Structure 1
Amino acid sequence: MSGLLALLDDVAAIAKVAAASVDDIAGQAAKTTTKLAGSVIDDAVKAGAKAAGAVIDDAAVTPKYTMGFAAERELPIVWRIARGSIRNKLLILLPVALALSSLAPWAIAPLLALGGAYLCFEGAEKVLHLFAPHGAQAHEPEDAHAAHLEEARVAGAIKTDFILSAEIMTIALSAIPESGFWTEAVTLALVGIGITVLVYGSVALIVKADDIGLAMASRGRLGPTRAVGRAIVRGMPGFMTVLSAIGTAAMLWVGGSIVLHGLEELGLAAPAHAIHDLAHAAAHALPGAWAGFVTWLVTAVIDGLFGVLLGAALVPVAGRIVAPFLRLFRR
């Protein structure tokens, strides 16, 4: 009997040691997981911030796809485009980005430069349209909520989103520190989902702002509420103009900086170094408190001007060479 009791006592002691070990393992795993999650989220935020220019443009471009439709169709259209954007990012672009990172990391800088050139082209085209607008703007059909028109609009928006999303995911990939495959995958997925929620949540608020303002102006119980509603309705056209201008400026600035950085990565560092020297020379001419801001501002302005010049040079190339070439594959 005493032998059995001793055996049970030993088993109990072993169980205590095992339990303590399990507790230590669980605690260490929790700490590691928390640290990893924090690192992944931090990397995702930094990577998303790097893609700010494309994000702003995405938010500025998308509201036009809801124009001409009944108010009750606006949010469903935004939701359909958002779902298409998630599919673009997670099912197509995420695997391609991870494959590039693993198999052809050397291709990331040229692809970034190519994407930056596209942003410059888009931004320059918008600037050129301000000075030489197309006279033949397409008028909305009378039946603006016809199913076929909505399908065409949504398909066009998802195609545009694919291009911008490709740029966002490539920028994000280049901003993520070297890490394991799954860490990069989770970080990119967080970037894709977070940016989609941010962009299309903002778009939903923008396209419904008129309705919100009208409701406040007509149903508000207090005078200030009605005044705010009227201000929203009156201010939305101007806000959309400002948003479009910010989106265009962001495209040119980010596109130009991406191309310049890509050239630097490919061994053509002279333009980037010249801009760096000009920015620091301008910063030294002002008090120290303003030096950082002036350095950023001068760099951004020169990057944007470079983006305008590059984009303007690409507009005729796209119209006379690229577009006819692509039409050959559509036949």
Structure 2
Amino acid sequence: MPGGLVALLDDISMIARVAAASIDDVSVAAGKAGTKAAGVVIDDAAVTPSYVTGLDPSRELPIIWKITKGSLKNKLLILLPGALALSWFLPQAIIFLLMLGGAYLSYEGAEKVMEKLGEPKHGKTLGDVIEDPAKFEQQRVNGAIRTDLILSAEIMAISLNEIATITDSFWVRAAALAAVGIAITVIVYGAVALIVKMDDVGLHLAERENGFAKKFGAFLLHLMPRLLVALSFIGTIAMLWVGGGIILHGLEELGLHAPAELAHGLQHAVEEATGALSGILGWLTYAGLSAIFGLVLGAIIVFVLHHVFKFDPHAEAH
């Protein structure tokens, strides 16, 4: 994905010629920023399909389009000006906003895990009787856009950090951030649309008389329900991993080094012990520890909100 993202950003950055003083600066900045943010992009792509899984197939693409528009608004109308303003006037506030977002992702992920373990569900689910499908659909869209806002904030923060090392120009930073935001949105929600409609492709191929097409269509029909379940699971893990990772990094930035140093220490120990597989196993170790940290933090937030303050953030959806 990083290579394709850089290539796409190179194309998009050409469109920014009118707004940028130097197209070369925009291209380099956007490409480097997009590559750095690719890990969060994968998380975003894994999280989103869960918001359309199980709904009326005829509504899947319209829902994805609604989420896509919400994502573009998040990035271009809220996060882009906000990130640029904070980077110039109050850069120290960015870490606190990111940590707030990390806490929200940890809460969302932990709530899903706890519901699987028997915690009462909050808000309408596909297992409930849906009296107002339009309202329920909007609830799912709003939930996806809220989660996208947090993931997009992390993407934009990572991107801005990389772009700031390349250029001091306000307009080049703005153009590069816009290029990253648009490209990532196209990639993520294009991939999501392809994933959720692949069963329709499978059904079409399965009805063909061509032997290979029929077999491949049957394979897709067999695969897609399992893939969507897997992506829902991965999406939950991604919320915990990204949320916990944001908090660990934020605490380290604020001077509380012990949690992040412990995670990095275990990561390095695994890397030293695993030879050729050190890179991937070390990364998995840190990601797993981040997810565990996010789960513990999220579970505390869930308990406090639901059992101490009796507050249900999803109550408006009822």
Conserved? CA contact 2:306–2:312, under 8 Å: no
Kindly report the root-mean-square deviation, in angstroms, between the aligned alpha carbons of the 2 structures: 3.0
Counterpart Cα distance in 1 of 2:220 and 2:30: 35
Change (3 A) 1:291 1:44: closer
Counterpart Cα distance in 2 of 1:175 and 1:50: 14
In the TM superposition, what is the alpha-carbon distance from 1:318 to its structure 2 partner? Answer: 3.1
Q: Does 1:125 align with 2:111?
A: yes
In the TM superposition, what is the alpha-carbon distance from 1:54 to its structure 2 partner? Answer: 4.5
- Letter in structure 1 aligned against 2:217: G
In the TM superposition, what is the alpha-carbon distance from 1:223 to its structure 2 partner? Answer: 1.0
Q: Which residue of 2 aligns with 1:263?
A: 251
Conserved? CA contact 2:46–2:238, under 8 Å: yes
Q: Which residue of 2 aligns with 1:187?
A: 176
**Deviation string, structure 1 residues 144-198 (Cα, Å, up to 9, x no partner):** 5xx5665555455444433443343334334433432112212221221112111
Counterpart Cα distance in 2 of 1:42 and 1:228: 36
Q: Structure 1: any 5+ residue segments left out of the alignment?
A: 1-31
Conserved? CA contact 1:54–1:250, under 8 Å: yes
Q: Which residue of 1 aligns with 2:17?
A: none
Change (3 A) 1:150 1:245: closer
Change (3 A) 1:175 1:115: farther
Q: Which residue of 1 aligns with 2:72?
A: 86
Conserved? CA contact 1:47–1:191, under 8 Å: no
Q: Does 1:110 align with 2:96?
A: yes
Q: Would you tell me which structure has more helix in proportion to its own residues?
A: 1
How is 1:89-100 mapped onto 2 (pairs within 5 angstroms)? 89-100=75-86
- Letter in structure 2 aligned against 1:97: A
In the TM superposition, what is the alpha-carbon distance from 1:324 to its structure 2 partner? Answer: 3.8
Change (3 A) 1:311 1:237: same
In the TM superposition, what is the alpha-carbon distance from 1:201 to its structure 2 partner? Answer: 0.8
Q: Normalising by the residue count of structure 1, what TM-score does the alignment of the two structures yield? A: 0.76
Conserved? CA contact 2:33–2:180, under 8 Å: yes
Q: Does 1:60 align with 2:49?
A: yes
Which piece of structure 1 moves more, 45-54 or 80-89?
Answer: 45-54
Conserved? CA contact 1:253–1:304, under 8 Å: yes
Conserved? CA contact 2:30–2:163, under 8 Å: no
Conserved? CA contact 2:203–2:217, under 8 Å: yes
Q: Which residue of 2 aligns with 1:213?
A: 202
In the TM superposition, what is the alpha-carbon distance from 1:214 to its structure 2 partner? Answer: 0.8
Conserved? CA contact 2:204–2:217, under 8 Å: yes
Q: Which residue of 2 aligns with 1:22?
A: none
Change (3 A) 1:254 1:33: same
In the TM superposition, what is the alpha-carbon distance from 1:141 to its structure 2 partner? Answer: 4.0
In the TM superposition, what is the alpha-carbon distance from 1:103 to its structure 2 partner? Answer: 0.8
Q: Which residue of 2 aligns with 1:51?
A: 40
Question: Match for 1:315 among 302, 307, 312?
Answer: 302
Q: Which residue of 2 aligns with 1:25?
A: none
Q: Does 1:274 align with 2:274?
A: no
Change (3 A) 1:281 1:319: same
Conserved? CA contact 1:112–1:171, under 8 Å: no
Counterpart Cα distance in 2 of 1:156 and 1:92: 17
Q: Does 1:242 align with 2:230?
A: yes
Counterpart Cα distance in 1 of 2:228 and 2:261: 36
Change (3 A) 1:154 1:254: closer
Q: Does 1:202 align with 2:188?
A: no
Conserved? CA contact 1:88–1:162, under 8 Å: yes
Q: In structure 2, the residue corresponding to 1:184 is in which secondary structure?
A: helix
Aligned residues: percent identity? 46
Q: Which residue of 1 aligns with 2:7?
A: none
Q: Which residue of 2 aligns with 1:222?
A: 210
Q: In structure 1, the residue corresponding to 2:195 is in which secondary structure?
A: helix
- Letter in structure 2 aligned against 1:184: R
Conserved? CA contact 2:156–2:177, under 8 Å: yes
Q: Structure 2: any 5+ residue segments left out of the alignment?
A: 1-20
**Deviation string, structure 1 residues 86-123 (Cα, Å, up to 9, x no partner):** 12211122111111111110011122222122222111
In the TM superposition, what is the alpha-carbon distance from 1:34 to its structure 2 partner? Answer: 5.2
Conserved? CA contact 1:117–1:259, under 8 Å: yes
Counterpart Cα distance in 2 of 1:108 and 1:279: 27
Change (3 A) 1:257 1:271: same
Change (3 A) 1:300 1:246: same
Counterpart Cα distance in 2 of 1:104 and 1:223: 63
In the TM superposition, what is the alpha-carbon distance from 1:129 to its structure 2 partner? Answer: 1.8
Structure with max Cα Rg: 1
- Letter in structure 2 aligned against 1:76: P
